[in-house]
Amino acid sequence: MNNSDIVRASIDAIWCRGELDRIPEFYTEDFVSHQPATPGFHWPPGHEGVREVVARMRTTFPDYHESPKFVISEGDLVAVHQLNTGTNTGDGPFPPTGKRFEAIDAMVCKMRDGKIAEQWGLLDLYAIVVQLGVREPVPGLIN
């Protein structure tokens, strides 16, 4: 498998199907996520950090799914543009709303020895909290 295939396979196995026992297959032991700071959200390093974040997402959104729209690889970097979806029926950072979201997610993964070693990403959290009814839209912000 090339780097793009590895990242796609990790999205399917770990994030979409929740196969947490396969985390060591796709992530280095010293994996680091460089996601922007989000109130109430912390991503610890390593396999435990991935396990914790995936479990939290899949508890809050049991049908959580990531659909890559394009994946581009150059050297040890893999860029992914995807659509993330889920229905908020589980406990999480806010009470279950029963509502579904669709949000754009963009990330870049740095590969090392056939595994994801680092990740930078931007998820449209504003779209998620508005669609779930947790926050009112800001007038004029989005047409």
Give CA torsion, residues 52, 54, 59, 62, to 10 deg.
-170
- Domain membership of residue 112 (yes or no) is yes
**In the chain, how many domains are there?**
1
Question: One digit per residue, pLDDT tens: the chain, 143 residues?
Answer: 999 999 999 999 999 999 999 999 999 999 999 987 666 567 889 999 999 999 999 999 999 999 999 999 999 999 999 999 999 999 888 789 999 999 999 999 999 999 999 999 999 989 999 999 988 888 877 65
CA atoms of 52 and 45, how far apart (whole Å)? 10
| Domain region containing 61 | 3-131
Measured distance CA(69)–CA(50) in Å, rounded:
22
CATH number of 114's domain: 3.10.450.50
Q: What is the pTM of this model?
A: 0.91
DSSP letter, residue 130? H
Q: Is 36 exposed, middle or buried (0-12, 13-18, 19+ CB in 10 A)?
A: exposed
Q: Is residue 66 part of a domain?
A: yes
SS3 label, residue 29: strand
